[in-house]
Structure 1
C-alpha cells in the first residue's frame, strides 16, 4: 500500500499540483481545505505524513500543528509546513510549533519529494531504534515512548530523535553541525538554528520531570547530554 499523505491547503489549484507530484512519487494523496476537513480525513485514515499550509481559513496551520502535537492520534505524524513566509523567525515559529520541516513557496516538485523522502526516512529510522536508559530517563524503542521517573512523557518526533541520539551518546559534546548530521541527516539542508529550537523544545518537555538539566549547553562548543549536573 502506498504511503498516504494529507495535503491541507485552502487553494484547490495548489492541492491538485501537490497531489500530481505525490502520485508521480508513488504516494497516495488525500485532500483537505481547512481544519475541519483535515480532522475528518485523519479520522477516516491516519496519514503517514501531513503537508500543512501556514495560512488556513479559521485556524492557522501553526495552531493546527500545535493541536496535533498534543493529541495521541496525531502526535507521531510527521508534518511538513508549506509556507510563503520565508523569514527566519517564521520558520523558527513553525519548528517551535512541532513541525518537522518546511518548504517555502514557490517550490519544485523535486524539492518537495526530496523533503518528504528525508522526513519519511528519519521516521523509519526512529522505528528501528532500540531501548535505552540514562538515570531516571528511559526510551522504550519498541513502543516509541519516553518515560521520566517511569511516567510517560509526551514528546514530538524530532525531539524523540534528538533525545535518543543524546541518550545513546552521553557525556560527549556535539556541535550544532554534528547534531544536524546525526539527527537530521547530512544530505538535508536545515539551518543550525534549528538545533537550538529543538533543544529548547526538548528541555521544555523534560522540565516537568526536573530532568531538563540533563541537556546541557557547553559554551562556545555545543551541547552535551549527561546524568550528572
Structure 2
C-alpha cells in the first residue's frame, strides 16, 4: 500500500489549523501543520511534501514571501503550493499566482472542497501537461524546434545539447510552446494549460516564467532565447532560429 501523501499546512489560527488538519488526515493525507513560517522552509528542505497549503496573512513572513522562498531554492522550487486567501479577491489571486503558487482557495472554504482541490493539485503535479488535443505529451516523443529539444517522458530539455535546469512550470511551459511551435498562444491559453487555472485578471505569471525560461536558454546557448517570440498584445510563439 502506498504511503499517504504528506501535506504541509501553515495557518496561524489554531482553530482553523486543527479543523483543517483533521479533515485532511480523515481524507487519508499525512499532515504537518505550522502556526507560522518559522521552521516551514527548513522542513521543506529536509523533506519535501507532496504539497503545501499556505495562508497569505501570517504573523512574521506572509504566505506570499514563503512561496517566493520555495521557488527561489532548487531543492524546493517544484513543491506544489495552494494559497489560502482571506478574501478571494482578484488581487489576492493574482498576487498568489505571481508569487509562484499553483492554485488558490478563498476563505471561508468547505472541507470537502479543500480536499477535492488538494487532490486535483496533486493530480496536476503528478501528470504531464496536455496539449490542445488532450493527448498526453509522452505519446508525442521528442519535441524539438531548431537547437531546442525536450523529452516529455524523461522530463529533460536541452539547448544546443546543453541540459536546461528547468523548474516544473518552466518545463511545462516550454513543452506547450514546442507542441504548438509556429502558433501564437495567448497568455490566457498558457495560464490555463500550464497552471490549470482560468484567467483571473492582470497577472504577469506567464510573462515572468517566460523571462526566466529565456534566461536559462541564453545561458545554455546564447541566442536560443530568441526562439520564444513575443507577439505584442497577444502572447508568445515558439519559432525556429539559427544559432
TM-score range, shorter chain: 0.7 to 0.9
1:171-186 superposed matches below 5 A:
171-176=182-187, 178-179=189-190, 182-185=193-196
1:1-229 superposed matches below 5 A:
1-126=3-128, 132-139=143-150, 141=152, 144-148=155-159, 153=164, 155-176=166-187, 178-179=189-190, 182-185=193-196, 189-191=197-199, 193=201, 197-207=205-215, 209=218, 211-218=224-231, 222-228=235-241
Cα shift at 1:67 = 0.9
> What do residues 124-148 of structure 1 show as CA deviations (whole Å, max 9, x unaligned)?
1139865544334444546645544
Alignment partners' CA distance in 2, 1:81 and 1:19: 16
Cα shift at 1:162 = 2.0
Alignment partners' CA distance in 2, 1:63 and 1:117: 24
Residues 16 and 55 of structure 1, relative CA distance in 2, 3 Å threshold = same
| Contact kept? 2:80, 2:102, Cα under 8 Å | yes
Corresponding pairs, count: 226
Residues 75 and 139 of structure 1, relative CA distance in 2, 3 Å threshold = farther
Which of structures 1 and 2 has the bigger CA Rg?
2
| Contact kept? 1:158, 1:198, Cα under 8 Å | no
Residues 59 and 147 of structure 1, relative CA distance in 2, 3 Å threshold = farther
- SS of the counterpart of 1:36? coil
Higher helix share: 1
TM-score, normalization: structure 1? 0.81
Residues 33 and 153 of structure 1, relative CA distance in 2, 3 Å threshold = farther
Ranges in structure 1 where 5+ consecutive residues have no aligned partner = none
Residues 11 and 146 of structure 1, relative CA distance in 2, 3 Å threshold = farther
Alignment partners' CA distance in 2, 1:55 and 1:193: 21
Residues 21 and 135 of structure 1, relative CA distance in 2, 3 Å threshold = farther
Alignment partners' CA distance in 1, 2:143 and 2:182: 15
Cα shift at 1:165 = 1.4
TM-score, normalization: structure 2? 0.77
Ranges in structure 2 where 5+ consecutive residues have no aligned partner = 130-135
